[in-house]
Amino acid sequence: MTATVLAVHRSAGHTFSKPTVDAIRIVEGLGVEGDAHAGATVMHRYDRRKDPTRPNLRQVHLIQSELFDELADKGFPVGPGQMGENVTTTGVDLLTLPLGTVLRLGDEAVVELTGLRSPCKYINDLHDGLVQAVLDRDDDGNLVRKAGVMSVVLSGGTVRPGDPVQVDLPAGEHTPMPVL
């Protein structure tokens, strides 16, 4: 299956879900134009209270649409944008990619993966019990977080549904993504 952008989302306010739009403009070093989480320094409300001068490693949030199928099988109907992502992808297992992976979204936009999204309690506002549904255990008993990945913008551009997603793995030894 070819990796593509399924949908794009943004919200000017710090809302949990983000409305689906026809296109988003990703700005180098900042994030999604018009989105509450765009900025050079941390914009996530919880992290901002701790230290507002830290770099923003959560400029663009991506979730693979395959997660929605998995959640539906568990009784949680969730669709694109409802978990607060900016970009919903299909055909690429974002969660297994290493730290520093570069994703080319469409013809211009380039983001670098910085970490896994740690699901917060507000996910349960969408569906009671959803936090536990986006957590799992691997074969060794380690906690697996499935709420998407975070990234920073290396190169700006417009991203639309149907755009291809190209995955460029980092050179050398691969490091698992940390939890942000």
Q: Which domains does the chain have, with CATH numbers?
A: 4-168 (2.40.33.20)
Residue 65 is predicted with a pLDDT of: 98
Q: Is 159 helix (H, G, I), strand (E, B) or coil?
A: strand
What pLDDT score was predicted for residue 122? 86
Output the pLDDT for position 44.
81
The pLDDT assigned to 46 comes to: 77
Task: Report the relative pairing of strands 102-105 and 157-159 from DSSP bridges.
Answer: unpaired
Model-level pTM? 0.96
pLDDT value of position 144: 93
Q: What are the helix (H) ranges across 11-108?
A: 45-50, 66-73
The stretches in the chain having pLDDT less than 50 are none
Assess contact for 37 and 43: CB atoms under 8 A: yes
Q: What are phi and psi of 131, to 5 degrees?
A: -55, -50
How far, in whole angstroms, is CA 45 from its chain's centroid? 17
Q: What is the pLDDT of residue 120?
A: 83
pLDDT of residue 34: 98
Give the three-state DSSP class for 103. Answer: strand
pLDDT of 130 reads 96
